[in-house]
Structures are given as C-alpha cells and as structure tokens.
Amino acid sequence: KQLSSELDGLLVGYGGMETVGFLSTMIVGTMAAFGLPALIDSASKAVAAGNAKIIGLLEKIAAEAGVASAAGAGSSLPVEAIIKAMAANPEVFGKYYAVLANALKWSVIPESYGYTLNSAFGVDVTLATIFATIWVTAFALTSLDTATRLARFAWQEPLEPLKESSKNLYNILTNRWIASIIVVVLGMALAATKQFLIIWPAFAGMNQLLSSLALMTVSVWVAKHVQTTKLVNLSSTCLVVNNTHNHK
C-alpha cells in the first residue's frame, strides 16, 4: 500500500535493504575503530559537567575494575583509566558498557563516527558528530513514520465489514488522522506498561517464520526451474551457520 506501483517494489525493497545494511556496517565499523575513545570523551564531558549519575556509575565501575585512585574522586575521576580498565575486563565490560552508554544517551555512536571522519579525512570531530547525529535521528524518525503508517493500515483493514453496517462510524475510525492517533496511543501504552517485551519476541519469531517460508519457496523454484542447486546450497549453509552462531 506504500507503493504507487508494484513494479517499484524491487527498487524500494533492495534500496531500503542496502541503505539499512550500509548504516549498520558504518556503525559497527566506527564503533570497532573508535568506540573506546568516543566513550571516554563522552564520559569525560559528563563528569566535567557534574553529571551525578555518570559519576556514580563510573565509581561503581572503578570499584569492580580495580581502579583504586577513583575512590572519592568525584568530578576529578580518572575517566580514561576507568573506561580502559572496564574494556580490559570482559565481565565488568559486559555488565556496565550498555548501562554507561545508555546513561550517556548513546552519544558514543555519532561521536565514534566523528572520530572516524576526522582520522580518515581530517573533518572536525564536532561537525562530523553533528552530521552523524542527524543521520541516525533521521533514520529513526523515518522508521517510526513507516511503522505508524503500516499500523494504521493494519487497523483500517479489519474494520472493512463496519463499512456496510455503520458507514459514519467506519469513516471516523478509519480517518487517517484518527486511525494514526489510535495506533500511536496503543503503541505508547505498550511501551509504558512494558508489554511490548512480550509482543516483540513473538513478532520476531513470526517474522522469521514468514521469511523462512518465502526462502524455501524461492529455493525450490530456483532448484527446479533454474536447474542449479549450488546457489541454494551455499546460501542455505551460510544462513544455518549464521543463525546457529547467533543463537548460542
């Protein structure tokens, strides 16, 4: 329903897939290369600003990572030493990294991109960080826009029988503004009550089931009509290895 022509599906589908893949690759690459200095920089700024939450969190990390000089240091915390000690300790890193990054509003992601552009092309870190922030924010906003539109379609379609019995009520409930507000409120309610934590895994499972059925159908067609099984066998093997590794 989002396409003016079904013929655009190939370009839009593959284009969206490539764009998302490029974004995720950029994030993984920049985080791997400059995630640590970006985290140190973000945490240092928060400590310098007197952020009590970050200071308290770093003190906990220092205590578990064995950085004795951090005891009672307050805003004079040796941030770099603490974070490097955390990175060197897998147990402490696994326990606190996401907590610290979340407390810093995940500024480490755009800032690591800023460090990457600075290192590769000499672009100012602040300017590159602002660009990356806009990029990531725009991706999130367009995803929310698409999700809201699809939820509205999913809300409107089951109400089709109401069109004959109560046309006025149907027109009200399926109005694009009212329907959008309804699905957004429902989404906010799921988020506020944490019930999305139940729905999300179920959705993920159904999504994987649907994709596996589509893949099997296409694989059978390719094997039968294209007269080759090498492509199917290779891709299937890669998928099995990847999924087995991810679910360990």
DSSP labels for 78-97?
A: -HHHHHHHHHH-HHHHHHHH
Burial of 108 (0-12, 13-18, 19+ CB in 10 A): buried
pTM higher than 0.85 for the full model? Answer: no
163 Cβ neighbours under 8 A, 6+ residues apart: 170
Q: What is the pLDDT of residues 153-208, one digit of tens each?
A: 999 999 999 988 899 999 999 999 999 999 999 999 998 998 888 888 888 788 87
48 Cβ neighbours under 8 A, 6+ residues apart: 75
Q: What is the pLDDT at residue 73?
A: 58
pLDDT digits (tens), the chain, 248 positions: 677 888 888 888 888 888 888 888 888 899 999 999 999 999 999 999 989 999 999 989 998 998 876 655 566 788 999 999 999 999 999 999 999 999 998 899 999 999 999 999 999 999 999 999 998 888 888 888 888 998 999 999 999 999 888 999 999 999 999 999 999 999 999 989 988 888 888 887 888 788 778 888 888 888 888 777 777 777 777 777 766 655 55
Question: For residue 122, what are its two tokens?
Answer: 């000499």
- Residue with the two structure tokens 């089931």: 209
